[in-house]
Amino acid sequence: MTQLKPILTHLDSIPSTPGKFKPDKSSPYNLYRLRFHPTLFPRFTLWSFFFIFFIVLLIFFSSPTNPTTGNSRRSLKNSLSPSPPLGPNWERRVRASARPRSKTGFTVLVTGAAGFVGTHVSLGLKRRGDGVLGLDNFNQYYDVGLKKARQGLLERSGIMVVEGDINDAVLLRKLFDAVAFTHVMHMAAQAGVRYAMQNPGSYVHSNIAGFVSLLEACKMANPQPSIVWASSSSVYGLNSKVPFSEKDRTDQPASLYAATKKAGEEIAHTYNHIYGLSITGLRFFTVYGPWGRPDMAYFFFTKDILRGKEIKIFETSDHGSVARDFTYVDDVVMGCLAALDTAKKSTGSGGKKKGAAQLRIYNLGNTKPVPVGRLVSILEKLLKVKAKKKVIQMPRNGDVPFTHANITLAHTELGYKPTTDLEMGLKKFVKWYVSYYGSKKKKSSW
């Protein structure tokens, strides 16, 4: 970590605070609140029904954790435990956090609020005047300390984060009884492609059962909130056609993570059809930036380069480059807020549908795939350290060789237009990383 101080002086003074998007009154995102552009949603196929049947079987036969897998497994909290105590005056604090600053502001429940994208979205909403209440279970998939630090950032901005699980129906009922949410921004999920090979039950528990639990709470609310939720580019799976379009088939998932996100899209269709919930799904493409996830390549590459450790760079079986459509988090926040602004109201009440409801799906990417080798080169330049690289063939762990987003639909209907290229985004990330971990270097083994 002796290299950290020169890096700080090397980097330009660039804002690295998450959720910096601040639309003004003339912003197209505010104007779009009054507009709706209908879009096609993929029809159910026979494969979809077989797929859902398979997932249902997984729900019954998978457990959230499997203690027999050995010490290599990271332990996750058992979120089936009773609701944690909310503390004194919890209802007053919940309502204060969720109260918008203006009569036109939204009242938004953000699940996964202490997660990477959830934190940025929560701050983006709060800064423009919406009321925000966060919910997060602080599981141990990665460093809980980082999640707690994000929570501190949110609380300093006036956002309360309730510690609890989306599978906890009693807790959800309490929150929905206390606050009449106009919108739900559902960012909570078990993330990561590779970890599904170690702990598959956690994906079913969080991404499927948890999503159903949340939709159940939303359907019974009166009035029902509009829902925007995080799907994933992983649903495109083994597709070879590029760039990936919302009209492309998504019935060939390459990982269990992808399969659970695909199942989520089908479940969203069902709740929209039966209960009149207004639901918008957003397929994120490799989101990166300050306060990011330590399990993602750009993050642990930075860590290992600074420590002088060897990093592994994947290549395809025919020695081709692995590439990702890296999307800076502030651009994703703009897409999320635009989806919220253009979401129509749900049409149901108390679990009963009264009319057809809005159902949409969008890609949120950068449209410029970058080889992972180029990512490493940029990090070497920013860190002023030469990486120790080892190129190996991509293992069969659910990863795909490339992602590439077609964002025409999001641009047309949401006004979505990413503006941050990879080098600029990584510059902001490295500035945050050095500041966050450098301040702790005396206490850290890093």
- Which residues are tagged catalytic? 257
Q: Cα(191)–Cα(172) distance, rounded to whole angstroms?
A: 22
CA 152 to chain centre: 19
Q: For residue 217, which of 259, 270, 271 has the smallest C-alpha distance?
A: 271
- Partners of 323 in the β-ladder: 371, 402
Q: Which amino acid is at 312?
A: K
User: In whole angstroms, what is the distance from residue 148 CA to residue 154 CA?
Assistant: 10
Reading the block at residue 265, the tokens are: 């899209």
Determine the residue type at 245.
Answer: S
Taken in order 156, 159, 165, 169, is the CA torsion positive or negative? positive
Establish how many alpha carbons lie within 13 A of residue 393's alpha carbon, considering only the half-sphere containing its beta carbon: 5
Chain-centroid distance, C-alpha 299: 16
Give SS3 for 280. Answer: strand
Return d(Cα 160, Cα 312) in angstroms, integer. 39
Contact 305, 350 (CB under 8 A): no
